[in-house]
Structure 1
């Protein structure tokens, strides 16, 4: 299982949860929603097709919806996605296809957040930060 797949999914999933809260699990696609949110909805819909995986994903999404800035809840959703990918060999391929067909945008959320789609350098947002090489 490629961990970069989970990394690639998290901005869209988080955006969908941020936009709709726990209702993202049942909300129909909203024409006015941004592409990132719609992609997050599609990713969640695919993850939830498996009846064994659905309850775990739902709980993780509901927890994240209640505290979007909590890294532990983001981590819990990531962990459930990793478990789902290990349990379903075809799931990773389907999710990669969804991601490849999208124009994903980065979305920053929370204090001092930085939005990037790819970074090969240093990003610093802290007070009095010093960067040494």
Structure 2
């Protein structure tokens, strides 16, 4: 089992759970959702196709959705994903392919950092900024 696969999946999965809560398990792809959330939905859908894995993932997602700031629930979801990947090599391969097909890499660190995949407007992080058109 490749631990980097789990690391690569977690941002998208947590974005999907954060955006939709437990409804992410049944919610259809929303056209207004950002690509990261849609990728998280696809990853969850693939995880849930395995009938042995599905109940464990569902419980972990529902727990995380009920307490998004609880690191223990995030860790529990991560642990269930690691367990699933260890048990099912085909699942791991499918998830790697899903991640490889996505080109979402957004990272912002530090005070007033901004990270976007697409922007049609103004982004200002400074004090007393004046935007003129």
Query: After TM superposition, is the score higher than 0.5?
Result: yes
Counterpart Cα distance in 2 of 1:89 and 1:104? 24
Query: Secondary structure of the residue that 1:44 maps to in structure 2?
Result: helix
Give the corresponding residue for 2:100.
100
| Structure 1: gaps of 5 or more residues | 117-133
The structural deviation recorded for 1:30 is 0.3
TM-score, normalised to structure 2, is 0.79
Query: Secondary structure of the residue that 2:38 maps to in structure 1?
Result: helix
The structure whose Rg is larger is 2
- Do the aligned partners of 1:16 and 1:36 also contact (CA within 8 Å) in 2? yes
TM-score, normalised to structure 1, is 0.79
Counterpart Cα distance in 2 of 1:13 and 1:23? 13
User: Is residue 2:24 matched to residue 1:24?
Assistant: yes
| Structure 2: gaps of 5 or more residues | 116-133
Aligned residues: 112
Give the corresponding residue for 1:40.
40
